[in-house]
Structure formats: C-alpha cells, structure tokens
Amino acid sequence: MENYNIHLNQNRSRPEFENKKEPDDEIDLREYINVLIKRKWAVITIFFIAVIAAVVISLLISPVYEAISLVKIGKIEGVNIETPAETQEIFARRTILKQIATKLNLPEDMNIETVAKIFTIEPSADSLLKIKGKAETPEKSVEITDVVTDVLIERHKKIFTEAEEMINLEMENILKNKEKTGKDIENAKEDIVRLEQDIKKYEQEIAKRDNAQSDAQGRITESYINLLATVKNQKESKEAQILNLEQSLVNLDQLLKQKEYEMSYQTKTTEIEIPATPPETRISPKRKQMVMIAGILGLFVGVLYAFGAEYFSKEKA
C-alpha cells in the first residue's frame, strides 16, 4: 500500500500533470491560416471591391490644382506696410472676399465662405507672403492667385501712396524750417552788427565824458554805461541764439538726410517676387494614397468577415 502511494505521487509530479490545458484553450495558428485559405475568395473579393470603389471615387472627385505666387511686402521707413497676420485677417473680411469674387466674375449668389476656401495667404519668410489659388484647372488656379495678388498689391499701393505723401510733406516742412532757421540766423547776425555799432557809439560817448565834473554830465555818463551794459547783454543773447539756431540747422540737415535715406532705401512698395505659373500636378485627389488606404481597409474587413463567417458557421453546426 505504501509503495502504491509513492508511485501515485511520483506520477502526479510528472510534467503531464502540471498546468494541463484543455484542447479548446490552445491557440493554433494553423487554424487561422486554414480559415483564411478556406475563405480566401471572400477576402479577395472584399479587397478588390474596396480598391475598385476607391478608384471610381477618386476618378469622380474633381481634381484640384494649386498655383503659388511669392509676394514681398513693402516697407514704409523700414517698417512693413502690414504684418502677415494683419494681411491674413484683412483677407478674411467680407468686403475683400466680395472684391475678389467680383474680379473673378463669380456668381453673385455664391457663398462668401466658398470664396475664402479657394485661396490661402501664408507667411513664407521675412516680409514674404505665399499666395495660393486652388481650382479645377491649372489655368484657373493661376487666375485666382493673380487676382488675390492684385487685390493685395492695390491695397498696399494705396497705403504706400498715403504714407509717401506724408513723408514728402514732412520733408517739405523740414526744408521750410531750414529756410526759416537760416533767415533767423542772418537776422540775428544783422542784429549783432547793429548792437556792435551801438556798443562802439556808447563807448565813445562814455570816453568823451571821462573827465566830466558836473552832476549832469555824470548822470549822462551813467546812462550811457547802463545802455552799454544792456546792449552787451543783448549781443551775448543774440550770439547764444545763433549757436542754438546753428545747432537746430545741423539737426534739421541730419533729419532731412535720414528721411531721404528712408525714402530711397527703406520705403518700397509691395512687389511680386515670383509670379504664379500653371501647376503641372494636382494636389488632390491623391489617387494612389486613396487606393492604398482602401486596399488596407478592404483586406482588414475581408479578414474580419472570414473569421466572423467561420465562427457563425460553427455556431449553427
């Protein structure tokens, strides 16, 4: 009896008694492969249906071409006429969109939101804008791009002209101030000449009365001395005025040169850097990509169908 128990315990300790699983719980890859082989025509059919559907849909979708122009934003005294963000915001307004629609001879009942979708304005680099027009033909996409570009340039040209007039007015005022300052300097110099003559005259009068003995002569001498002091103060004041006026003249000269430099080198109107040309390829639909995605989805659905059909067939059995 004891030997039997030892033998039984040894049998229980063998590997076949450890972690024994039921056959239904085992995963057999071969069964999956057999299911796919068994229902391969269903999988292939679903795959080809998805691919053919994608091909047909991609052929039915209208092509979209995109033309691009590159525009350099103008500057006024070294500052951009508008920032790219301001331009984007302005070209989203209804008034600008209506203007574009009119120039393109679009139907009056066309939704403004639809007009906003046929073009985009994007910042490209420093002071550069990319204007993209989208249409069903290359020629139409170029037309849309050109119209949007023209509207932008016309708007900037108006701003530029107004700013240019203001700068020219500032320069005219500077020239007038220079002319007035020059005249003031000349007038001050003439005043100094007269004052110097008065000083000389008063000094002569005082010199005549150096030996005056009477009180009357003394009072006259004193009055000339006071007049001489006053005239000398006036002369000093005029000389200081001339120095200030000459400094103002130098400042006006510098300001004028700065304005001339800004007008010549830092004030430029908006220009087209690269004009739009007809695109050779469309941007959508991307047929190859659509067919590939449809093929992958079709294959996935086909495999799901195969396993689902196999499962329900076993359930019925």
Look up residue 284 and give its DSSP letter: B
| Residue 237 and residue 127 share a domain | yes
> What is the CATH classification number for the domain harbouring 229?
1.10.287
* Same domain (yes/no): 193, 264: yes
Q: Indicate whether 172 belongs to any domain.
A: yes
Question: What does the pLDDT profile of the chain (317 residues) look like in tens digits?
Answer: 444 444 444 544 444 444 444 444 445 788 888 888 888 898 899 999 999 999 999 888 889 999 999 999 999 888 899 998 999 999 999 999 999 999 999 887 778 888 999 999 999 877 899 999 999 999 999 999 999 999 999 999 999 999 889 999 999 999 999 999 999 999 999 999 999 999 999 888 888 877 766 777 778 888 888 998 999 999 999 999 999 999 999 999 999 999 888 888 888 899 999 999 999 998 888 888 999 999 999 999 989 988 888 888 877 66
Classify residue 57: in a domain, yes or no.
Answer: yes
**269, 298: one domain:** no
Do 74 and 162 share a domain, yes or no? yes
One domain for residues 187 and 111: yes
Question: Rounded distance, CA 39 to CA 48, Å?
Answer: 15
Say what the pTM is.
0.67
Containing domain of residue 269, as a range? Answer: 65-274
Domain presence at residue 298: yes
Is residue 135 a contact partner of residue 64, using CB atoms and an 8 Å limit?
A: yes
pLDDT tens-digit readout, 282-296: 888 888 899 999 999
Q: Which two tokens stand for residue 274?
A: 């690269």
Q: pLDDT at position 21, please?
A: 46
What pLDDT score was predicted for residue 20?
46
Same domain, 262 and 124: yes
d(CA 54, CA 295): 8
Give the angle 238-242-244 at the CA atoms, nearest 5°. Answer: 115
Q: Does residue 1 sit within a domain? A: no
Residues near 298 by Cβ (< 8 Å), separated by ≥ 6? 46, 47, 48, 49, 50, 51
- Whether 179 maps to a domain, the answer reads yes
Asked whether the CA dihedral 295, 299, 305, 308 is positive or negative, the reply is negative
Asked whether residue 49 falls in the same domain as residue 80, the answer is: no
> How many whole angstroms separate alpha carbon 307 and alpha carbon 31?
10
Q: For the chain, what is the mean pLDDT?
A: 86
22 occurs within a structural domain:
no
Q: Please indicate, yes or no, whether residues 52 and 138 belong to a single structural domain of this protein.
A: no
Note whether 292 and 270 are same-domain residues: no
Bond into 285 cis (ω within 30):
yes
pLDDT (0 to 100) of residue 204:
87
On whether both 210 and 306 belong to a single domain, the answer is no
Do 166 and 151 contact (CB within 8 A), yes or no? Answer: no
| pLDDT value at residue 18 | 45
Residue 18 resides in a domain: no
Taking a C-beta distance cutoff of 8 angstroms, is the pair 266, 72 a contact?
Answer: no
Q: How many domains does the chain have?
A: 2
> Quick one: 150 and 197 in the same domain?
yes
Which pLDDT score is estimated for 212?
Answer: 61
Q: Is residue 136 part of a domain?
A: yes
Q: Are residues 111 and 259 in the same domain?
A: yes
**Secondary structure of the chain: what % helix, strand, coil (to 5)?**
70, 10, 20
In the beta sheet, which residues pair with residue 254?
none
